[in-house]
Amino acid sequence: MISSTNDLWNDSELTRVSPQPVSLQVPTAVNTSSTTTNEEPELPINKGEKSVLYNTLTKLTPFLQTAQKYSSITFSVFATIHGIGVTVGPLISTSFTNELISLGREIYQSSSIEWWLVWGSLTVHVVSGVALRNIRQILRKWNYGDTQPRKKVVDLSSSKDSTKVPDENSGLIGGVQSYFGLGAKRSFSFKNLGMTPLQFSGYLLVPLVSYHSIQTRILPLFLEGDSSYITIEYITYLLNHSLLASVTNWILYPSLTILATYHTIFGLCRWLGVKDRSLRKIAAHSINLISLIGVLAVWNVSKRANLLGMPEFVLRKFEYYVVRLGLY
């Protein structure tokens, strides 16, 4: 026969005792930074242990941020003047485009202005941006043992109901899915490279802007001491000269137009502190529109300019530049 529950527990055998604290010892061999978890341990910062280098880098950061900000504003003056000439002009006529380019050169290619408006501001912006990223990685490594940005606790899935963009790691509006009310997601560049889309677009622009500058300004200046023969017809020549030149420049100019537009408008939103989602969507639409106009301008330049009427010696100069660029 099976005994009942009352038979198993006899009250007379139980003794009442007073409660006593129990000490629990955690083994010291346990590694709290085990790779079995994705959580990063919060390590306390002991300011007394920081070296002179740490303090110097910390104090240098705001100066670099200021330099990056105001150099971008300075360069944007040149970029706006130049951009209007090469995007709006080709949609009207070749002669009008060259007039706008010539007018812009009178402003930004004088010896007293070009070095600080173009080359100086661009160099300061790139150098300060790279330095800031490296310094932040050093400080994060020092504080947390990892060079990647700390993961913020942000509920991106509910961001579709908010009027604010959760953080810069999601891009300008949080991705294409935000247009359809699906909420924001962290960008590819942040998840895989630890860079915000703004930073990533800046790094992509460095080789594009460098090559464009060499092709249209530095090389002619180095070879002949002048770049006055660089007109919109030169771009037409590059887009149609050979397979290598055509492919190279069809990759260069649409990419340069789209990335430069994105980087400029996104950067402006950041410096102005624009967080409102509706305003950022307006900025995103502006990027799309300007990029479309820019790509159409490149296509128009490749088709509309008349090289048959160009003087022979000018065409020989174009060919000389292309040969020196290695695009023959």
Q: Which residues contact 212 (CB under 8 A, 6 or more apart)?
A: 252, 253, 256
* Mean pLDDT on 51-69: 90
pLDDT of residue 303: 86
CB 257 within 8 A of CB 294: yes
pLDDT of the residue at 12:
53
Least confident of 22-31, 220-229, 312-321: 22-31
Lowest mean pLDDT among 74-83, 170-179, 226-235: 170-179
Average pLDDT in the chain: 79
**Residue 286 pLDDT:** 95
pLDDT band (50, 70, 90) for residue 44: very low
What is the share, in percent, of the chain residues with pLDDT greater than 90? 44
Per-residue pLDDT, 215: 95
The pLDDT assigned to 188 comes to 73
Residue 275 has pLDDT above 70, yes or no: yes
pTM attached to this predicted model: 0.76
- Higher model confidence: residue 188 or residue 237? 237
- Residue 40 has a pLDDT of 44
Q: Can you give the length of the chain in residues?
A: 328
Asked whether residue 51 carries a pLDDT value surpassing 60, the answer given is: yes
Distance between CA atoms of residues 50 and 45, nearest Å: 9
Tens of pLDDT, residue by residue over 227-256, are: 989 999 999 999 998 899 999 999 999 999
> Does pLDDT of 132 surpass 70?
yes
Residue-level pLDDT at 11: 52
**pLDDT in the model for residue 308:** 72
Residue 290 pLDDT more than 90?
A: yes
Lowest-pLDDT choice from 98-102, 146-150, 153-157, 264-268: 153-157
Structural contact between residues 204 and 266, judged by C-beta atoms closer than 8 angstroms: no
- At residue 190 the predicted structure's pLDDT band, cuts being 50, 70 and 90, is confident
Structure confidence at residue 134 (pLDDT): 92
pLDDT at 91 over 80: yes
